[in-house]
Amino acid sequence: MFHYINGTVAHLEPNFVVIDCGGVGYGLCVSPYTVSQLRAGEMRKLFVYEVIREDCFDLYGFESMAEKRSFEMLLGVSGVGPRAALSILSATTPESLAVAIISENEKTITAAQGVGKKLAQRVILELKDKMAKQAGEFSQFSGAGSAASSATSSALSDATAALTVLGYGAAEISAALKGAELSGCDAEEIIKMCLKQLMK
């Protein structure tokens, strides 16, 4: 099982890269965002998700754990396969996708090539349902209370819900927001702030 691949960027295409590790070239399907963060000849680490079936052994690469978590989250939706998940991530960012789900913004998801309205609705429905099931964790989210006194409670609630769907626990989110100035921030800004801390 691959967790990440660390090597030299040997080849770049819009949705595909080759990472050379000790003379072995690993081909990975990637989003345009990940491609934009890479330069040929550089040493880089990509987080990996494997898709192994009788007829294929595909590797998907991600520049950040947030992007990989978003990919895994999308695969949990019925009818969403690796190609559709990567297509969605090619049209948006992890934080924008999270906000689209909590705000039920279908347009952000249907902007992805090959993703129609029905599939976008299913993504939103199933992942919002996941948030509802995990709502108990939100009530324990006390660490950001003082920091968020001047921020709208709905923005903070939406942000924590989205981050939970991305796979982060209440304790992690609380630690990431500790001491943060959230006054005037919307949900997407809070998500970006948290992800920056969580990726350290």
- Rounded Cα–Cα distance for residues 152 and 117 (Å): 30
Whole-angstrom CA distances from 101 to 41, 42, 52, 148, 159 are 37, 35, 28, 22, 11
For the domain covering 65-132, report its CATH number.
1.10.150.20
Task: Tell me, rounded to whole angstroms, the distance of Cα 150 from its chain centroid.
Answer: 27
pTM: 0.78
Closest CA relative to residue 62, chosen from 28, 23, 87, 18: 28
Phi then psi dihedrals of residue 10, to 5 deg? -95, -25
- Rounded Cα–Cα distance for residues 46 and 49 (Å): 10
Q: What value does the mean pLDDT of the chain take?
A: 84
Max CA separation in the chain (angstroms):
54
pLDDT digits (tens, 9 = 90+) for 116-129: 999 999 999 988 77
Right CATH for 4-62 from 2.40.50.140, 3.30.230.10, 3.40.50.2300, 1.10.3720.10: 2.40.50.140
pLDDT digits (tens, 9 = 90+) for 10-48: 999 989 999 999 999 999 999 988 999 999 999 999 999
Residue 49 host element (H or E): strand 43-53
pLDDT of residue 11: 96
- Rounded Cα–Cα distance for residues 107 and 73 (Å): 19
